[in-house]
Structure 1
Amino acid sequence: MVWTILGIILGVLSVLSLVLGMISLFNKEDYSFTGSRSYNNMSPFMMTIVYGILAYIMFTVK
């Protein structure tokens, strides 16, 4: 039960970071979770991949 809740939270975070990456690609402004401009445009997509892998692990482990 705890793993399922964690998987749902990580899935939502991956979707949010994917949306953030799409916004940062269409805007010239550079968005990140910390608010600093040091990240390039690919960091939200890398976070999406990491969150997706973690969510998959959370869903598969019972």
Structure 2
Amino acid sequence: MKYKVDDSCVCCGACTAVCPTVFFMGDNGRVAAIADDVPEDVLEDAEDAMGGCPVGAIHTV
């Protein structure tokens, strides 16, 4: 499974705190997700990060 952060992201950093393996602050100051499939051992954390996004900017692809 892969994740995408859309343009509605407010860069609050909640997802990077919950799942830094998948979500990170990009060079442009925006939150991004790794391009690869999410490793099984952090999949639950990634789902928690998506569910905790205050603006619903994280989606699965």
Shared topology, TM-score over 0.5? Answer: no
Q: Which of 1 and 2 has greater Rg?
A: 1
More strand by share: 2
State the TM-score, normalized to the length of structure 2: 0.32
State the TM-score, normalized to the length of structure 1: 0.31
